[in-house]
Amino acid sequence: MLIDFFYSLRAAKLPVSVKEYLTLLEALKANVIAPSLDEFYYLARITLVKDEQYFDKFDQAFGAYFNGVAKASELAFDVPLDWLKNKLQRDLSPEEKAQIEAMGGLDKLMERLKELFDEQKERHEGGNKWIGTGGTSPFGNGGYNPEGVRIGGDAAGNRTAVKVWEARAYRDYDDQVEIGTRNIKIALRRLRRFAREGAAEELDLPDTIRSTAANAGWLDLKMVPERHNKVKVLMLLDVGGSMDDHIKRTEELFSATKAEFKHLEFYYFHNCVYDFLWKNNRRRHAERMPTWDLLHKFTPDYKLIFVGDATMSPYEVLQPGGSVEYNNAEAGAVWLRRLADHFPHYAWLNPEPEGLWAYRQSVSAIREVLGHRMYPLTLAGLETAMRMLSK
């Protein structure tokens, strides 16, 4: 069984070796873990995976091999699993969706959720009140409500939840992705200002020719420091959720940016910027950068680039406690305004088609906060954004 598992990891292009496989077998023989699939997962990962960048590939390969194993979910409320088994997929017409009443605000929504946990005793499906699946109730999974709390499981695709009650695992964008075209790099090169810095490592051919001629033909080499782009870039990247649809283009942009700018700093956020960001998605709960520290660490001469689809509940931008993951003390709009005030050269790059922006309340809100400095993640949009940042 484990030999097949080993080869399945190899097939997923994970650099696992026979030595590491033998280490896993020795650990199992020594009974270092209990007979639990969860514990085996962590043991296999720690013995077989050399670098954190492969964790996401390992998770996919592990899940594909041990098909049907339920992923543990850390719920804020102990909802019986049977309540969340989706047996009914409802397709509502636009007219029916328009008739679904919202709960009247985030506070009332959370109050009602607490009441239902006290009242509900069994599983429900397809309804408009209880915690269940496939219905129009604001609570559960697989249904539709414009102001809902998704509990457990995968999204139904409506993307209308204002809270998501499950453990989220995002992966870092790959900065080594191969770029199929040089057009992104060419667009980024509008944001360049070269200076010669560091030790003399580059041949200065014109000066060498002049010096050699003045020296009666005796070779006189002249060296100068290499030319580097001295523009400093701070990139804040939205990750997870609806951004999963835009991973390829975002990775291409991220990879091109790392290649073009020597002075690049980056951090991740989810949906909207709040009071902290993070560098590594695997350790985002343990290793956070307070946004106040970021404002103090980076000087205003950095060019600030947000990358995100800005697609979320408007509560997440405009209201304290609106984050889908925790109760933020201040609204996302407050933090966006602080960042914009600190970094006068900023822009937001949006991978969503520009024709859809008018139908997203959150996009309109963010554009308003940032003085309409939002540009589509297209070549034309990139060039326009780089011209604006270079002023």
Position 82 scores a pLDDT of 54
Cβ contact 324:164 at 8 Å: yes
Q: Check whether 177 has a pLDDT greater than 50.
A: no
Quote the tokens at residue 154: 């995968």
Q: What is the identity of the amino acid at 366?
A: I
Position 142 scores a pLDDT of 53
Q: What is the pLDDT of residues 363-373, one digit of tens each?
A: 999 999 999 99
Position 85 scores a pLDDT of 46
Position 144 scores a pLDDT of 47
Q: How far apart are CA 260 and CA 279, in angstroms?
A: 20
Position 166 scores a pLDDT of 46
Q: What is the pLDDT of residues 290-324, one digit of tens each?
A: 999 999 999 999 999 999 999 999 999 999 988 88
Percent above pLDDT 90 for the chain: 26
Q: Vertex 144, ends 142 and 149: CA angle to 5°? A: 75
Q: How far apart are CA 240 and CA 360, in angstroms?
A: 18
Q: Check whether 89 has a pLDDT greater than 80.
A: no
* Residue of higher predicted confidence among 306 and 383: 306
Q: Check whether 76 has a pLDDT greater than 50.
A: no
* Residue of higher predicted confidence among 327 and 237: 237
Quote the tokens at residue 204: 């200065």
Q: How far apart are CA 316 and CA 362, in angstroms?
A: 8
Q: List CB contacts of 298: < 8 A, sequence separation 6 or more.
A: 232, 234, 265, 343
Q: What is the pLDDT of residues 53-68, one digit of tens each?
A: 677 788 888 888 876 4
Range name among 40-44, 120-124, 357-361 with the lowest pLDDT average: 120-124
Q: Looking at residues 13-17, what average pLDDT do you find? A: 88
Q: Looking at residues 76-99, what average pLDDT do you find? A: 49
Q: Vertex 125, ends 121 and 127: CA angle to 5°? A: 95
Read off the DSSP letter of residue 69: P
Position 225 scores a pLDDT of 72
Position 270 scores a pLDDT of 93
* Residue of higher predicted confidence among 18 and 67: 18
Q: What is the pLDDT of residues 334-353, one digit of tens each?
A: 999 999 999 999 999 999 99
Q: Looking at residues 202-217, what average pLDDT do you find? A: 83
Position 73 scores a pLDDT of 37
Confidence of residue 220 (pLDDT cuts 50, 70, 90): confident
Confidence of residue 178 (pLDDT cuts 50, 70, 90): very low
DSSP-derived 3-state class of residue 19: helix
Q: Looking at residues 168-186, what average pLDDT do you find? A: 57
Q: What is the pLDDT of residues 138-152, one digit of tens each?
A: 555 555 444 455 554
Q: Looking at residues 353-367, what average pLDDT do you find? A: 92
Q: Check whether 158 has a pLDDT greater than 60.
A: no
Q: Vertex 254, ends 251 and 255: CA angle to 5°? A: 85
Q: How far apart are CA 354 and CA 108, in angstroms?
A: 33
Position 282 scores a pLDDT of 81
* Residue of higher predicted confidence among 278 and 191: 278
Position 231 scores a pLDDT of 83
Position 268 scores a pLDDT of 95
On average, the pLDDT of the chain sits at 76
Position 349 scores a pLDDT of 95
Confidence of residue 326 (pLDDT cuts 50, 70, 90): confident
Q: Check whether 274 has a pLDDT greater than 80.
A: yes
Q: Check whether 84 has a pLDDT greater than 80.
A: no
Q: Check whether 165 has a pLDDT greater than 50.
A: no
Position 104 scores a pLDDT of 55
Q: Looking at residues 244-263, what average pLDDT do you find? A: 86
